Amino acid sequence: MKDNKNNIQFFTALLSVMAAAFGVQKRKNMQRDLQAPNPVVYVVAALVFVLLFIGAITAVVIMVVPEHLT
């Protein structure tokens, strides 16, 4: 595995996507993300975030809505 500062790890990209989604992204991290050589990592991280977000909302709705209404 290359040790290159331009390579973004998936977990770092996922944290960056989550921070940006909630509006708390730091300017330094945003600049790093915009200069990343491979945007595919961010696309995959965004898709994972969307699936987790939808799953979380679905789980909350299932827990809150009584069973006789479903």
Q: pTM, whole model, 2 decimals?
A: 0.73
pLDDT tier for residue 1 given thresholds of 50, 70 and 90: very low
> In this structure, what token pair is assigned to residue 20?
């940006």
Residue 18 to residue 47: CA distance in whole angstroms: 11
Report yes or no: 19 and 25 within 8 Å, Cβ to Cβ. Answer: yes
Q: Express each pLDDT in 18-39 by its tens digit.
A: 998 988 988 998 898 888 888 8
